[in-house]
Amino acid sequence: MRTARSCKSSGCSQASISETLATSTVVPLLAGRLLPPIRAEGVERRLQYFNIPEHWRQQALLISGWLAAEVNPAVARSIVARFLELGVPDPTLNQLVARLGSMLKGNAPVVGALPATPPEVVVDAIVRRLGGTDLAVNPSMLAEADVGPQDLWLREQLASYGFNFQTLDATAAADYAPIFAAAREGPLLVSFAAAHPGSGDRYLRNYITLHAANSYAHYRQQSLWALLPSVIQHPDDQWTKDMVLAVTNAALAGGTLEFDECVPSTVLALRAAAGHGSGEFRDLVQAHAAAARAVTRDTGGDAWGAHKRRLGVLAEARSRLFDLDSTDLLELALTIPYGFAGFSSPAHLTLAESIRVCRPADAARVKRSLEQARAAAHNVQDPVFCVRMTSRWNALAGRWWKRALQPTAMDLAGVAERLATNPAGSEFSAVHIVGEEYGLRTGDRTATTAPELLTGSVPLSSNVRTAATLAELSRYVYATPLSELLRLNSDRGFGAADRLPPGTEVNIPDREFTPLLAAWVAGEALVQPNLSSIQRRRVLQLMVPVAAANPTALDTTLGRLLLDARPTEQRTLGTLSRYLATYQSQSAIANAVLGPAGAPV
């Protein structure tokens, strides 16, 4: 496990901020009876290792003090004293300081009034809408949760939280739409959670998780900062501390729910193929198929894409190890109602790979899954995340799948060698299409009978649709260095200010796309007819380190490597089984905690 000590020099990811809060702060505090008391300055020093906005740095310091309060209250008091001495102009931080101070004194918290508890259908619709899920309710049910930039009350409220909105033109309004939504929806979610602790907590945690999935730290942190003041108004101290920590980790670390069940399921299938525990694998297939059939749109669909992924994994194992037709599992996976768009799109991309592994000539089903992935990508509600997800789809479907489905076999061995050697090369980038219309996106929000209210999807910025130069794409759409766009498109002769015609494909830097491509290559390696067994094994082995940055992609790639290696020796299978006996699937934990679309488990 990485610690904060090495992050500044190595440039490690924001994800380790949560480890810092857990290992550098909590663990020493829990050991306070044995170790010298930690100082507030020590916590601050650790937080300096992370390149995060100052208000979030102060927030992380406050939650560290809150975590310390029960085992080392002196640290918590020193943190509160430091804030009171220096003074903090930010209203949200001041509320947290007051809340922590009241708790340390044993006083009841002073909280603001929450709105009346909304019906569950409204809370459910709020979470589904953020996730890009088709609503099963009339949009008018969301009237009290809808907001536009013309809502003067909310603009004043956000200004009191520290946001400065002097003027908002149409472009800025679209960029800030998730912030407005979080500020309006947060009080309703917290009010429902206060009245319904079980299901309400799950709805709010799902909401936080959906925000955390946005890999753009700036936008993720802005919208979650707008949510934080609502969380602070909950009357229960322990609940508030837990949720503030969840919001802080989501804002600073980001992240998503990972699927890591491919390797365990594949090992179970390998044991069955070798004559050990065939009943267990058969029972697993039946259980997952039954669970998938029970998924409906009313229950939130396949909220996190886990059902599709499970069926794809099982179909690959049945097809490769038992030479059984797995069309039933693949067709079931294709027909499950999709859930949150940001999770459904990559799940459908992986399902297309599973179809190819099981049925290499079934281009029709591959294209069905790809089209569902495209629809989900277009309906990711955060505009910036939508654009990024669509660019990944463009690259996989328009570049790699197009080559794979041609009659002429591709040089996959050469692709794998280049990808392993130079993953930042232009051929392995995401792809933006100039003038992309996002035609499968649900209609942008439009005015209701109340002029200050909006319904429908979060509108995409006009810049997203009209950007036609590398400079505009760099500044307004992808927030990526112009030098990188020029490098990746140098072979095309694009200048920074050259206006590109509609339909032009532009290479976009995206480190998070590379592991997805590695998993795709691993799937294709299993079916490419021009690869020898030695070449196929090398391709699969080369893709493992490339996929390692994404736990889900790594799990998929390792599972496919096992399908190709197909170990049958009892000793090898026993070693794998003993390892997996100590291995607990994180995606299983997530599903147990969150449930489908916030529904009680």
pLDDT greater than 60 at residue 364: yes
State the average pLDDT over residues 478-488: 94
Tokens describing residue 155: 């603009």
pLDDT greater than 70 at residue 405: yes
Pick from 437, 439, 375, 431: nearest CA to 402 = 431
User: Minimum mean pLDDT among 57-61, 360-364, 366-370: which range?
Assistant: 57-61
Q: List Cα–Cα distances, 358 to 363, 411, 567, in angstroms.
A: 12, 21, 20
Tokens 């800025």 sit at which residue? Answer: 172
Of the pLDDT bands very low, low, confident and very high (cuts 50, 70, 90), residue 255 is: low
pTM: 0.77
Q: Are 280 and 272 in contact (CB under 8 A)?
A: yes
pLDDT greater than 90 at residue 124: no
- Cα-atom radius of gyration of the chain, to the nearest Å? 25
Cα–Cα distance between 360 and 564 in angstroms, integer?
16
Tell me what pLDDT residue 471 has. 97
**12-26, 327-341, 533-547: range with highest mean pLDDT:** 533-547
User: Average model confidence (pLDDT) for the chain?
Assistant: 80
Cα–Cα distance between 243 and 207 in angstroms, integer?
12
Tell me what pLDDT residue 306 has. 93
pLDDT greater than 50 at residue 115: yes
Count the Cβ atoms, other than its own, within 10 Å of residue 502.
11
Tell me what pLDDT residue 35 has. 31
Domain locations in the chain as residue ranges: 4-105, 120-253, 262-429+510-598
Query: Is residue 77 classed as helix, strand or coil in its secondary structure?
Result: helix
363 or 72, which is more confident?
363
pLDDT greater than 70 at residue 235: yes
Tell me what pLDDT residue 274 has. 92
Per-residue pLDDT reduced to its tens digit, 62-107? 888 888 777 778 888 888 888 887 777 788 888 888 888 888 888 8
pLDDT greater than 70 at residue 419: yes
Tell me what pLDDT residue 154 has. 45
Query: Is residue 294 classed as helix, strand or coil in its secondary structure?
Result: coil
Query: Is residue 183 classed as helix, strand or coil in its secondary structure?
Result: helix
β-pair type (446-447, 454-455): antiparallel
